[in-house]
């Protein structure tokens, strides 16, 4: 017989080691698809490392890629802490990006000192509004937020196409469905000469730090954790659960909206319907790898960004499909899930002649 | 107004509704079986992709159409088994595991497709299922063109509604599956295997979901495209709640959704000049959310849904 029992004391080493091990195992598993595609895995891993760490430019590209993932990772981590399943970061990202170009692409010709904060605040608000709706439907009608946020992603994407062919369309865009560019003074300034990495990264890092502090030290963080661990007990202790959920929904949606702001006002300059290759969904993987810790999100985002940038460069060098990166990302999610099980429980074999004590 | 009436009276409209509903019937039935056994399967979106890709590729490699259907079902069952292992004996978060399965199944499908066909500009086509043109029946007025010119997979979907209803309500196995989703302790007390029932239900449900995907590449279209599933799996998850976990109402829900989707396409051509086309494209998703909001209040969730169960631990 096999029995499963919770571990009495979880070790800190395990909490830290398991995500790292999961990432390594997922990367090792990638050898199977690499072999299937007829590539030498050792050469492929070499190309990936070179593609991420081979030059200053490569590292800056990795940091550029990590920036939106920190935002969406934080969005998922905070919401999941309160057991609010925000799977809608992808849509909220686009809401943020739409708000950014709506106000920043010439509608208001303000000096940069005013325009940049305005873009950031409006973008975050748009994302927050995108999460407020499903949270309202959850607390008012009991509609499962997993399904509503997932469906809203599709609705928002279609709305985006409508906007890009309508009110937000660039009149100078030669008919392409894209927005006008954000005014120069409205762009988030770049961090390095001739590199694409921009100050959105600084904003992401600061917010991760703030989130870490608030979660661990503030009353707000205490309430959020209490609601997530046991909503009934939290209610009994006098915590307004609905209000707490609403608060975290606003913050989570706002963070996802900032991912859109950062991509459009930090990197691309104008908005197209393919701004995000699934940053919202990948943010969930980042959050899980991070064990839902904000500082962990930064590390996990750097890892996932390395996988994407490395796989892109390996793909160009060796002709293996860059969908390999998505494979590694999804496998690391499954690995870290199993790893979390090993950290929480131990498997006891009883009746094999040896008393399990 | 006259136009709307004309649309609703036309044979082609109802034939299209049934065609659009077919993958959803498979998907809702699959999700319903998993949830009746107490496990939410958010892997559905990815399992649709796997079914679409594997079914199509098997036919393309020469397995024949029914061979493709079998391959799709087996592939769906495989990813279902993975979800089952993670959520049943290991008792991990059904939400996160399901999303993980969706990401994994989707990327496996896309990677396999790209690796098998590295440089194609237009996707290769197969000879898909043809409408079953039954003599005499097909010539019936109205019903003939609506019902008897659907492909074999649509008939399979309708037959599955009956089969799933029969198994769930009229067999000991079905009673056990429902009990394991409501009160696993009582099932265990009777000496039945909670793990076995739940794992079996998830595997069977996932195989059905994959058939929904296979319908897309083998009947609705004749090729595989990236992004072709386009949220159909998530719509099914909403429809299960709307259907209060009953196969008959699942069929009704899928048909309503299909009719609405067919209607929006026709209204789009009629009114395209007045309203942007995207308004109509959005409508089915908005409708799903509205249906969910209406149904959620009175929803009678399987009582042990989302709750992991460990042997010897109450």
| Short-list A55, A54, A31, A32, CA closest to A43 | A31
Please report which helix (H) or strand (E) contains residue A345, including its range: strand A345-349
- Span A285-307, pLDDT tens digits: 999 999 999 999 999 999 999 99
Cα–Cα dist A95/B183, whole Å: 42
Task: Identify the sign of the CA torsion B215, B220, B225, B229.
Answer: negative
Two tokens, residue B255: 């048909």
Tell me the chain A residues in contact with residue B100 when contact means C-beta distances shorter than 8 Å: 285, 330, 333-334, 337
Q: Other CB atoms closer than 10 Å to residue B263's CB: what's the count?
A: 19
* Number of inter-chain CB pairs under 8 A, A vs B: 136
Helix, strand, coil percentages in chain A from 3-state DSSP, rounded to 5: 70, 5, 25
Task: Nearest by CB to A323, from B96, B107, B241: name it.
Answer: B107
pLDDT tens track for A64-89: 999 999 999 999 999 999 999 999 99
Nearest to A76 by CA among B86, B307, B96: B96
Q: Give me A339's structure tokens.
A: 């790893």
Percent of chain A with pLDDT over 70: 97
DSSP output for A291-347 = TT-HHHHHHHHHHHHHHHHHHHHHHHHH---THHHHHHHHHHHHHHHHHHHHHHEEE
Residue A253: what pLDDT? 98
Token pair recorded at residue B125: 């086509």
- Per-domain boundaries in chain B: 12-118+132-296
Give chain B positions within 8 Å (CB) of A19.
Answer: none
Tell me the per-residue pLDDT of B110-161, one tens digit each, with 9 for 90 and over: 999 999 988 777 888 999 998 887 777 777 777 777 777 789 999 999 999 9
- Average predicted confidence (pLDDT) for chain B: 91
Q: What is the pLDDT of residues A149-170, one digit of tens each?
A: 999 999 999 999 999 998 899 8
Q: What is the pLDDT of residues A302-316, one digit of tens each?
A: 999 999 999 999 998
For residue B197, name the pLDDT band (cuts at 50, 70, 90).
very high
Residues in B touching A155 (Cβ below 8 Å): 282, 285-286, 289
Q: Find the length of chain B.
A: 314
Q: Which CATH class is domain B12-118+132-296?
A: mainly alpha
If you average pLDDT over residues B205-220, what whole number do you get? Answer: 97
Gap between the Cα atoms of A216 and A222, Å rounded: 7
CA distance B221 to B126: 9
pLDDT of res. A297: 97
Q: Are A92 and A257 in contact (CB under 8 A)?
A: yes
What number is the ipTM of this complex? Answer: 0.92
List CB contacts (< 8 A) between A7 and chain B.
none
Interchain proximity B276–A166, CB inside 8 Å = yes
Global pTM reads 0.93
Q: Which of B292, B294, B301, B305 is the best mutation test for A, with the most CBs of A within 10 A?
A: B292
> Which residue, among A87, A81, A91, A68, has the nearest Cα to A302 in the 3D structure?
A68
């Amino acid at each position: 017989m096999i029995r499963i029992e919770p571990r009495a004391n979880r070790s800190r080493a395990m909490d830290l080691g398991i995500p790292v091990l999961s990432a390594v195992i997922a990367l090792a598993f990638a050898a199977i698809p690499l072999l299937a595609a007829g590539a030498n895995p050792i050469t492929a891993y070499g190309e990936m490392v070179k593609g991420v760490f081979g030059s200053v430019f490569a590292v800056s590209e990795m940091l550029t890629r990590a920036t939106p993932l920190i935002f969406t990772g934080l969005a998922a981590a905070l919401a999941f802490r309160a057991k609010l399943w925000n799977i809608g970061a992808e849509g909220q990202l686009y809401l943020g990006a739409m708000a950014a170009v709506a106000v920043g692409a010439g509608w208001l010709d303000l000096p940069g000192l005013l325009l940049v904060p305005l873009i950031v605040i409006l973008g975050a608000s748009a994302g927050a509004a995108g999460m407020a709706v499903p949270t309202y439907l959850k607390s008012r009608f009991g509609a499962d937020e997993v399904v509503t946020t997932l469906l809203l992603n599709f609705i928002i994407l279609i709305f985006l196409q409508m906007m890009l062919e309508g009110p937000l369309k660039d009149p100078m865009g030669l008919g392409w469905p894209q927005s006008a560019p954000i005014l120069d003074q409205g762009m988030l300034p770049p961090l390095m000469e001739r590199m694409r990495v921009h100050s959105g990264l600084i904003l992401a890092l600061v917010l991760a730090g703030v989130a870490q502090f608030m979660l661990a030290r503030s009353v707000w963080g205490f309430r959020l954790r209490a609601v997530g661990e046991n909503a009934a007990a939290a209610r009994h202790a006098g915590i307004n659960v609905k209000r707490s959920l609403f608060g975290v929904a606003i913050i989570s949606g706002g963070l996802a909206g900032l991912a859109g702001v950062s991509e459009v006002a930090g990197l691309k300059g104008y908005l197209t319907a393919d701004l995000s290759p699934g940053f919202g969904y990948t943010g969930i993987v980042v959050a899980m790898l991070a064990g839902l810790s904000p500082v962990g999100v930064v590390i996990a985002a750097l890892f996932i960004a390395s996988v994407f940038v490395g796989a892109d460069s390996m793909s160009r060098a060796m002709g293996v499909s860059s969908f390999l990166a998505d494979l590694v990302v999804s496998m690391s999610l499954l690995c870290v899930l199993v790893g979390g099980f090993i950290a929480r429980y131990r498997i006891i074999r009883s009746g094999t002649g040896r008393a399990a004590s | 107004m006259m136009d709307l009436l004309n649309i609703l009276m036309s044979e082609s409209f109802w034939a299209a509704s049934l065609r659009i509903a077919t993958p959803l019937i498979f998907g809702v039935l699959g999700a319903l079986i998993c949830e009746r056994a107490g496990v939410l399967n958010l892997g559905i979106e990815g399992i649709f992709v796997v079914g679409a890709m594997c079914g199509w590729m098997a036919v393309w490699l020469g397995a024949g159409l029914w061979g493709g259907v079998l391959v799709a079902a087996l592939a769906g069952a495989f990813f279902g088994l993975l979800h089952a292992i993670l959520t049943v004996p290991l008792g991990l978060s059904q939400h996160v595991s399901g999303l993980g399965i969706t990401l994994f199944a989707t990327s496996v499908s896309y990677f396999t497709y790209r690796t098998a066909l590295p440089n194609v500009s237009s996707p290769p086509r197969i000879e898909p299922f043809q409408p079953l043109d039954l003599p005499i029946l097909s010539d019936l007025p109205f019903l003939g063109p609506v019902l008897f010119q659907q492909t074999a997979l649509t008939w399979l979907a309708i037959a599955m509604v009956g089969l799933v209803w029969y198994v769930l309500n009229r067999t000991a196995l079905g009673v056990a599956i429902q009990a394991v989703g409501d009160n696993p302790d009582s099932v265990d007390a009777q000496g039945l295997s909670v793990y076995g029932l739940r794992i079996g239900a998830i595997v069977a449900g996932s195989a059905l979901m994959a058939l929904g995907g296979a319908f897309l590449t083998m009947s609705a279209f004749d090729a595989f495209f990236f992004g072709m599933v386009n949220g159909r799996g998530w719509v099914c998850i909403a429809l299960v709640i709307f259907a209060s976990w009953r196969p008959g109402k699942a069929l009704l829900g899928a048909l309503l959704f299909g009719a609405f989707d067919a209607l929006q396409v026709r209204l789009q051509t009629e009114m395209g000049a007045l309203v942007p086309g995207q308004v109509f494209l959005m409508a089915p998703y908005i409708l799903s959310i509205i249906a969910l909001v209406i149904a959620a209040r009175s929803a009678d969730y399987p009582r042990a849904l989302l709750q992991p169960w460990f042997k010897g631990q109450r």
